[in-house]
Amino acid sequence: MVRTAVFSSACGAPAPAPIVRVVSDSIDLDGLLTRFRGELAGTEDEAGLYQLQVAYLGKKGQVTALSKSLGSLAPEDRKAAGERINAVKRACEEEIAARAAELRSRARQRELARIEDVSAVRPRALGTFHPITQTRRALEQVFGELGFDIEDGPHVEFARFNFDDLNIGPDHPARDMADTFFVQPAAGSGRMVDELVLRTHTSPVQIRTMRARKPPIRIVALGTVFRRDDDATHSPMFHQIEGLCVDEGVSMADLRATLYRFVGAFFGRELEVRFRPSFFPFVEPGAEFDMQCPFCGGSGCSTCKSSGWIELGGSGMVHPAVFEACGIDPERYTGWAFGFGIDRMAMLMHQIHDLRLMFDGDIRFAEQFPC
Ligand code: DAH
């Protein structure tokens, strides 16, 4: 039995040329196009359109299925029905393309509206420097103003510069595998490489500087150092500053005066500095140095553990053997050196009690120290 169907433009979509016609009961073009337009009107994005396209025009789609069912019609009806199905297919294609263009245009309008609305632009949060970087910069600033040049050295260092030339002999405990990270040269590289280590202190920068420059020398070197240590007060990676001054007639009094000036400039108030005799292979005499506690002024508080003093680092007069290793005449020149931890300094300034917090990489920690 044959019936007549008239397609009209339902649902407000752009109307295709009316496809009027006669198809069998089993080929309901009218119903199909109505369904299609209903679904098309509900699509909101490219993905939805693609799904619709597959559902109607894909290999297993509804329009394709209709074409396949042409065989069920009487032979005389097939040609006309085939043409009408093709017309429906074209209509679906055109309406999908039109809807895609419409969705794209709407998205563009939305984007433009967002950009033009300046109130929609939120200010970005500014990053801050890590407290260690802040401390490092402050130290560079103070020593720069005191007339020191800033030097640098590599993290992977020759064992010779890290130990031997600093008068740290082969049997010194610091050279033990338990304290030092040794670096293996690439296997099979066939290169003769001096023994390499991750530098255990910034003191090898003294050696590099004295090998490269003639006195007068006045430098500080700040940077990362590495040791096999890991607990609440030690990290396998930490930071030090090294100071070196070499010239004719340089004395321990100059060292003391420099440390005194530094501490005063850094903490913005006059603070005493004291030496305690100590031993480091690369200086003679050697001393540890403390500063008067900047928090209580020496009267005793929890930071200085009621002692009134805070230990800072090591120092002393450059050992003649170190000068000789660097080709500097120890008869003519004298020099002093010092070294201390930057991390401890940062902890002191910011009242941070656990060193590990510094290296956890937790952004919430860093955000507490705006620069
Ligand atoms: N390099 C020493 C350390 O890591 C610190 C030090 C002590 C540096 C005495 C010096 C110095 O320049 O004279 O413990």
Give tens-digit pLDDT for 10-25. Answer: 333 444 433 334 444 4
Which of 162, 315, 336, 340 gets mutated to test ligand 1 (max ligand atoms within 8 A of its CB)? 315
> 3-class DSSP state for residue 207?
helix
Instruction: Give the CA distances from residue 123 to residues 120, 126, 371, in Å, rounded to whole numbers and listed in that order.
Output: 10, 9, 18
The residue whose C-alpha atom lies closest to atom 5 belonging to ligand 1 is 339
| pLDDT for 189 | 59
Distance 288 CA to ligand 1 centre (A): 9
Nearest Cα residue to atom 13 of ligand 1:
315
When pLDDT is averaged across residues 251-280 and rounded to a whole number, the result is 96
337 Cβ below 6 A of ligand 1: yes
CB contact at 8 A, 225 and 344: no
DSSP-derived 3-state class of residue 58: coil
pLDDT for 247 beyond 70: yes
CB 242 less than 6 A from any atom of ligand 1: yes
Of 224 and 128, the structure prediction assigns the larger pLDDT to 224
Q: pLDDT tens, 166-213?
A: 999 988 887 877 789 999 766 665 555 678 999 999 999 999 999 999
Ligand 1, residue 339: give the atom nearest the CA. Answer: 8
Q: In what order do the strands lie in the sheet with 217-226?
A: 149-151, 217-226, 237-247, 334-341, 309-318, 283-292, 273-278
| pLDDT tens string 72-101 | 888 888 888 888 889 999 999 999 999 999
Give the count of alpha carbons within 13 A of 235, CB side only: 17
For ligand 1, atom 2, name the residue with the nearest CA: 339
CA distances from 83 to 16, 19, 20, 78, 149 (A): 15, 10, 11, 9, 89
291-310, pLDDT tens digit by residue?
999 989 999 998 899 999 99
Alpha helices in the chain, H assignment, sequence order: 29-42, 46-57, 62-68, 75-116, 131-145, 159-162, 204-212, 252-267, 320-325, 342-350, 356-359, 363-366
Cα of 203 vs centre of ligand 1, distance in Å, is 6
**pLDDT tens-digit series, residues 209-236:** 999 999 999 999 999 999 998 777 788 9
The residues near 217 (Cβ < 8 Å, ≥ 6 apart) are: 209, 210, 244, 245, 246, 247, 335
- Ligand 1 pocket, residue 201 CB under 6 Å: yes
